Amino acid sequence: MQDAPSVLPALLAFVAVAALIPVALWVLKRLQGGTQGAARPVTLAGGLTLGPRERVVVVEADGRRWMLGVTGQSITMLAELDRAAPTQDGSNASAPGQTPAAFPPNPFAQILERLKRNA
């Protein structure tokens, strides 16, 4: 009877590859991460759910803000907002020491406020 082929080399190769996977993932994360603690280029400043798949969101990028309508099929820019507009937590995004600009009544904002109160 001939000796059966040893399974030990295959098992050792499997263990080595399995041990290298977390190391490879860590290296990839470090290479793609860039600088630690860097600000995200695009942030979600706030939003309001209008229906099961419809939302209005405020997105900020590069110091500018946009109000977007988001549905299951599309994303539509509704308005470009002034940087001094209040954020979701009620604080003002203007620079310290500056007084915020007065905003004229906006019918869309009034509709959103009514929807918030009724929700």
pTM: predicted TM-score of the whole model, two decimal places: 0.41
52, containing H or E segment: none
Question: 95 in a domain, yes or no?
Answer: no
The average pLDDT across 100-108 equals 60
Residue 14 resides in a domain:
no
Q: For residue 26, tell me if it sits in a domain.
A: no
pLDDT bucket at 91, cuts 50 / 70 / 90: low
pLDDT for the residue numbered 99: 43
18 sits in which H/E element: helix 8-33
Residue 109, phi then psi, degrees to nearest 5: -65, -35
User: Does residue 76 lie in a domain region?
Assistant: yes
Residue 75 to residue 106: CA distance in whole angstroms: 21
Mean pLDDT of the chain: 77
Residue 112, in any domain of the structure = yes
Residue 27 in any domain: the answer is no
Quote the number of domains for the chain. Answer: 1
Least confident of 49-63, 74-88, 92-106: 92-106
- CA dist 91 and 3 (Å) reads 77
Query: Does any domain span residue 98?
Result: no
What is the domain extent for residue 62? Answer: 42-88+105-118
- Quick check: is 71 in a domain? yes
